[in-house]
């Protein structure tokens, strides 16, 4: 992949190469290190008895060593310097497999592949072996991972803070066309990328009560007497930037019992009670909640949130004090980003630490806190906005609740001054929802406690300001800004699409990998015949590879020569996978009515997980697989239409899917998808988009040009308008024979002959409510799909559009997004880290 790394070997005094087996990047030292690790770390003295996992581990340690040397250089470069550190707090980090990405960022992917090839190994087998850390649900977690890559690449000192879930997002299997969840076992064969740091550990208090007291100077103070304490242990994963010296860290916290055994209980012979405490503590970080929208007010989830926030803040304070600084300047050292409201209890926690533990006065503490935190909102869906019942919150975090009441009291005073007499506004803005079972609104806490609030796409930010957070926008408009999401081209192109990467680099050089706007230079080749041919050949190659994966996973044979029409994302009603399937059924009906019709052959591919408790989403999966079964077994469909549900959508499978798509389905109801990032990954890899004016689709269309984007559907404004006027899906249903034909086919049990009523809940919800307005967009969608089919038949035109798409995706690099966060919110600057030269470890000196 591109040029050789610019990395000098360490040279000794005699001028001879003394490249270290742990840091050297030559083929010789890499191979030597690999063998050493196989023997010494994995304990496999005879190569024949080494398992694929042994080989993967030995290689992973070889790569990690090189990264740790970068990390050491970085630390040296940071010594005695003053700079801002960005802390990204997120309950989810969907990192994906590390090995390939680290090889790319180290700049040794090609060399290593060569070295292994010489020795008779295929690097693919090593990459294949890695079980990915699935510590996230979808968009929000993956965004955090892309941002860590960009932060390191832009040489911004930063720390990602999160939770080391023992079980990440479940693995998805299909059984009889239904989703079945299997436990994720990512740690079972060992995780070579993390370094446990048992000495970096903090106590976290939970439950109990508060107690007022007077300190030595007679001041009124409060202490928190907890009911229990758990200990958080740090696990560090190095995060290397793309071909730079910067190596940051992802620090994840694991919960453990404070003492392995409760000695008192143990001494009383109550062995089981003593062990129980350990089990309960470790439960805290056992499992990731697999919901990405529907909120469940589970105590364990709040415990997880507070646990990782508390450990992270204690860690920051420890580092700050160790650098000899006072807490009054905390906000000058740290910019802390809250990835949605999940870590927003951090606002109350920092106030508690400053006021209770460090006796800072409230005003100063509030100044520090407000200037430390910034909040990103990722959703407008009301059911996803976090709320905690006061009762639950107060039982777990009694002191935090008091602090939040005080924050609220002072805030409502400000509101009263700015909008005198406006009681309705006060009630709407209050951190406490007084209606029904009183609850705490976390987005409100975040808006009040942060100096910056942002949405993740232009449209989303505008909607935030005009709907969900309107009152906050009117209160402090200066806090609000937009930061359109981005994705890292290193993973989502260089690693996942080596064919396209090589072709692009051959034409315009490799600068685009760190400066994605450079892709514009491809426009020059938009009409170059030879370039067209090669562009198409790369896509076809990628489609063949995916086709063989599909065959392995599902047994379905698909033709790489057909249009690959792909919808890959979490399954949700607002994302409208069922609109896609309604169109497929419409095509099916059309072919059945006229079996010899000339049409563009299509392979419709779906992939995505449903939250285990989300009945409708699971039913949508069953509908897709049922329709697939009928269509794929109908001889009339042969060579025309195929439908596939590719199970277990995760980062690894994403890397196979995005490069192989011709058409990207981004068909959410306008106003519902905050941004989307899959839309960017598809388009970057040359797929054309069929989509609504929702989330970042709007900006993608703006960039690639209306002529290269298949637009359909109502706008967000029209959706709002229609809802206001009283939307009636049954009228549309009655007046649209094509739509009725499709729905009636499902209702009649055509796709579920053994149980004709199977899909009734789904159909009833469409004909009675149609909350996501599929019926309103159906005609527009089907017509637009006809345009797609026609365009695809014009190979030259399609290829041209595909090249233009990729060429104009520069804006959607996560590097651009991170630059904007640094400039507007974090005020953080790069700190360069040299890569050459040895570290000096003086004998007897402080290492």
- Nearer of residues 137 and 408 to ligand 26W, judged by Cβ: 137
- Nearer of residues 449 and 455 to ligand 26W, judged by Cβ: 455
Closest C-alpha to 644, from 656, 627, 661: 627
Whole-angstrom CA distances from 50 to 186, 608, 770 are 20, 35, 57
Is 369 among the residues that bind ligand 26W (CB under 6 A)?
no
Is 666 among the residues that bind ligand 26W (CB under 6 A)?
no
Region at 572 (left for phi over 0; alpha for psi -120 to 50; beta for the rest): beta
Specify the DSSP element, H or E, that contains 209: strand 209-214
- Nearer of residues 716 and 791 to ligand 26W, judged by Cβ: 716
Rounded CA gap, 148 and 92, in Å?
12
Question: Which of 135, 140, 452, 631 is the binder for ligand 26W (CB under 6 A)?
Answer: 140
- Nearer of residues 500 and 674 to ligand 26W, judged by Cβ: 674
Question: Cβ 826 to ligand 26W, closest distance in Å?
Answer: 17
- Of the candidates 569, 602, 618, 808, the residue annotated as catalytic is 569
Annotation marks residue 379 as catalytic: no
Question: Which of 155, 315, 673, 770 is the binder for ligand 26W (CB under 6 A)?
Answer: 673
DSSP tag of 666:
E
Question: Cβ 89 to ligand 26W, closest distance in Å?
Answer: 14
Question: Cβ 399 to ligand 26W, closest distance in Å?
Answer: 25
Is 41 among the residues that bind ligand 26W (CB under 6 A)?
no
Question: Which of 139, 192, 449, 647 is the binder for ligand 26W (CB under 6 A)?
Answer: 139
Radius of gyration of the chain (CA): 28
Task: Identify which range of 121-129, 138-146, 404-412, 515-523 contacts ligand 26W by CB under 6 A.
Answer: 138-146
Task: Identify which range of 555-563, 671-679, 726-734, 756-764 contacts ligand 26W by CB under 6 A.
Answer: 671-679
Is 168 among the residues that bind ligand 26W (CB under 6 A)?
no
- Of the candidates 570, 618, 640, 800, the residue annotated as catalytic is 570
Rounded CA gap, 318 and 316, in Å?
5
**Interface with ligand 26W in residues 377-396 (CB under 6 A):** 378-379, 384
- Of the candidates 441, 575, 622, 808, the residue annotated as catalytic is 575
Question: Cβ 136 to ligand 26W, closest distance in Å?
Answer: 8
CA angle 627, 633, 634 (to 5 degrees): 90
- Nearer of residues 716 and 835 to ligand 26W, judged by Cβ: 716
Report yes or no: 543 and 551 within 8 Å, Cβ to Cβ.
no
Which residues lie below 8 Å from residue 473, measured CB to CB, with a gap of 6+? 464, 465, 466, 480
Is 573 among the residues that bind ligand 26W (CB under 6 A)?
no
- Nearer of residues 107 and 139 to ligand 26W, judged by Cβ: 139
Considering CB under 6 A, how many residues would be counted as binding ligand 26W?
21
Question: Which of 100, 654, 676, 686 is the binder for ligand 26W (CB under 6 A)?
Answer: 676
- Nearer of residues 232 and 678 to ligand 26W, judged by Cβ: 678
For the chain, the residue count is: 847
Annotation marks residue 378 as catalytic: yes
Whole-angstrom CA distances from 146 to 104, 142, 160, 374, 761 are 14, 6, 11, 18, 38
Chain center to CA of 424: 37
Closest C-alpha to 608, from 616, 617, 595: 617
Task: Identify which range of 211-219, 376-384, 727-735, 812-820 contacts ligand 26W by CB under 6 A.
Answer: 376-384
Question: Cβ 519 to ligand 26W, closest distance in Å?
Answer: 21
Rounded CA gap, 630 and 745, in Å?
12
Annotation marks residue 575 as catalytic: yes
Rounded CA gap, 556 and 645, in Å?
10
Question: Which of 54, 132, 315, 340 is the binder for ligand 26W (CB under 6 A)?
Answer: 340
**Interface with ligand 26W in residues 447-486 (CB under 6 A):** 456, 485
Strand partners, 88: 160, 337
DSSP tag of 540:
H
Q: State phi, psi for 72 to the nearest 5 degrees.
A: -65, -45
**Interface with ligand 26W in residues 258-317 (CB under 6 A):** 291-293, 295
Annotation marks residue 625 as catalytic: no
Count how many Cα atoms sit within 13 Å of the Cα of residue 490 in the half-sphere of its side chain: 31
Rounded CA gap, 96 and 171, in Å?
14
Tokens linked to 748: 């009649």
Q: Where are the beta strands (DSSP E) in 226-347?
A: 228-240, 247-257, 334-339
Question: Cβ 669 to ligand 26W, closest distance in Å?
Answer: 12
CA angle 232, 238, 240 (to 5 degrees): 150
Rounded CA gap, 492 and 154, in Å?
17
Tokens linked to 18: 């003394």
Is 345 among the residues that bind ligand 26W (CB under 6 A)?
no
Is 799 among the residues that bind ligand 26W (CB under 6 A)?
no
Is 763 among the residues that bind ligand 26W (CB under 6 A)?
no
- Nearer of residues 54 and 340 to ligand 26W, judged by Cβ: 340
- Residues binding ligand 26W (CB under 6 A): 137-140, 143, 291-293, 295, 340, 378-379, 384, 456, 485, 673-677, 695
As annotated, the active-site residues are 378, 569-570, 575, 677, 681
């Amino acid at each position: 992949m591109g040029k050789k790394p610019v990395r000098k070997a360490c040279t000794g005094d005699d001028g001879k190469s003394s490249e270290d087996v742990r840091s050297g990047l030559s083929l010789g030292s890499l191979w030597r290190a690999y063998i050493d690790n196989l023997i010494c770390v994995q304990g496999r003295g005879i190569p024949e008895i080494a398992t694929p996992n042994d080989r993967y581990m030995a290689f992973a340690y070889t790569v990690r060593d090189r990264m740790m040397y970068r990390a050491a250089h970085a630390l040296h470069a940071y010594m005695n310097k003053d700079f801002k550190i960005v802390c990204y707090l997120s309950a989810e980090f969907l990192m994906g497999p590390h090995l390939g990405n680290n090889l790319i960022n180290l700049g040794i992917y090609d060399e290593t592949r060569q070295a292994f090839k010489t020795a008779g190994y295929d690097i693919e087998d090593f990459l294949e072996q890695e079980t990915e850390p699935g510590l996230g649900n979808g968009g929000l977690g993956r965004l955090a991972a892309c941002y860590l890559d960009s932060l390191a690449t832009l040489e911004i000192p930063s720390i990602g803070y999160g939770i080391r879930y023992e079980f990440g997002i479940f693995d998805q299997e299909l059984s009889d066309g239904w989703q079945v969840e299997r436990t994720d076992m990512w740690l079972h064969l060992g995780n070579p990328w993390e370094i446990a740091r048992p000495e970096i550990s903090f106590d976290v208090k939970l439950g109990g009560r508060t107690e007022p007291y007077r300190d030595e100077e007679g001041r009124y103070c409060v202490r928190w007497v907890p009911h229990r304490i758990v200990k958080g242990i740090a696990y560090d994963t190095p995060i290397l930037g793309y071909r730079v010296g910067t190596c940051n860290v992802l620090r994840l916290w694991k919960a453990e019992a404070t003492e392995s055994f409760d000695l008192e209980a143990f001494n009383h012979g109550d062995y089981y009670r003593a062990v129980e405490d350990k089990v309960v503590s470790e439960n805290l970080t056992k499992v990731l909640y697999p919901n990405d929208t529907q909120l469940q007010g589970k105590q364990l989830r709040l415990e997880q949130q507070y646990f990782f926030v508390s450990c992270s803040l204690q860690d920051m304070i420890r580092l700050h004090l160790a650098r000899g600084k006072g807490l009054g300047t905390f906000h000058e050292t740290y910019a802390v980003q809250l990835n949605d409201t999940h870590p927003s209890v951090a606002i109350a926690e920092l106030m508690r630490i400053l006021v209770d533990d460090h006796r800072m006065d409230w005003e100063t503490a509030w100044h520090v806190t407000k200037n430390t935190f910034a909040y990103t909102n990722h959703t407008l869906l009301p059911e996803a906005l976090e709320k905690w019942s006061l009762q639950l919150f107060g039982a777990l975090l009694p002191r935090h609740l008091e602090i939040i009441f005080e924050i609220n009291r002072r805030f409502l005073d400000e509101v009263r001054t700015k909008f005198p007499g406006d009681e309705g506004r006060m009630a709407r803005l209050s951190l406490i929802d007084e209606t029904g079972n009183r609850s705490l609104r976390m987005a409100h806490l975040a808006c009040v406690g942060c100096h910056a609030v942002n949405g993740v796409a232009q449209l989303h930010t505008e909607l935030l300001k005009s709907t969900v957070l309107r009152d906050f926008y009117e209160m402090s408009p200066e806090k609000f800004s937009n930061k359109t999401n981005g994705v890292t081209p290193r993973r989502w192109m260089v690693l996942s699409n080596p064919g396209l990467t090589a072709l692009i680099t051959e034409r315009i050089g490799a600068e685009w990998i760190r400066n994605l706007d450079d892709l514009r230079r491809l426009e020059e080749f938009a009409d170059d015949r030879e370039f067209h041919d090669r562009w198409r050949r790369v896509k076809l190659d990628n489609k063949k590879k995916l086709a063989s994966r599909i065959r392995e996973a599902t047994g379905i044979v698909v033709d790489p020569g057909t249009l690959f029409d792909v919808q890959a994302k979490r399954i949700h009603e607002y994302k409208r996978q069922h609109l896609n399937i309604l169109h497929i059924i419409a095509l099916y009906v059309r072919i059945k009515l006229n079996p010899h019709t000339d049409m563009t052959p299509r392979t419709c591919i779906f992939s995505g997980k449903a939250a285990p408790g989300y009945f409708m989403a699971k039913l949508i999966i069953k509908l897709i697989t049922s329709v697939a079964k009928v269509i794929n077994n109908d001889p009339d469909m042969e060579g025309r239409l195929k439908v596939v549900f590719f199970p277990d959508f995760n980062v690894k499978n994403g890397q196979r899917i995005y490069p192989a798509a011709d058409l990207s389905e981004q068909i959410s109801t306008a106003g519902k998808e905050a941004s989307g990032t899959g839309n960017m990954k598809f388009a970057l890899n040359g797929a054309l988009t069929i989509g609504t004016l929702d989330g970042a689709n709007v900006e993608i269309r703006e960039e690639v040009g209306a002529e290269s984007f298949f637009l359909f559907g109502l706008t967000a404004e029209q959706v709002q308008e229609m809802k206001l006027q009283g939307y009636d899906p049954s009228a549309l249903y009655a007046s649209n024979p094509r739509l009725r034909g499709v729905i009636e086919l499902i209702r009649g049990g055509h796709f579920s002959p053994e149980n004709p009523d199977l899909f009734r809940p789904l159909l009833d919800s469409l004909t009675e409510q149609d909350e996501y307005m599929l019926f309103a967009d159906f005609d527009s969608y089907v017509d637009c799909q006809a345009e797609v089919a026609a365009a695809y038949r014009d190979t030259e035109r399609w290829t041209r559009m595909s090249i233009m798409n990729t060429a104009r995706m520069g804006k959607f690099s996560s590097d651009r997004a991170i630059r904007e966060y640094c400039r507007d919110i974090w005020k953080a600057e790069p700190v360069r880290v040299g890569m050459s030269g040895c570290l000096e470890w003086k004998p007897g000196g402080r290492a």
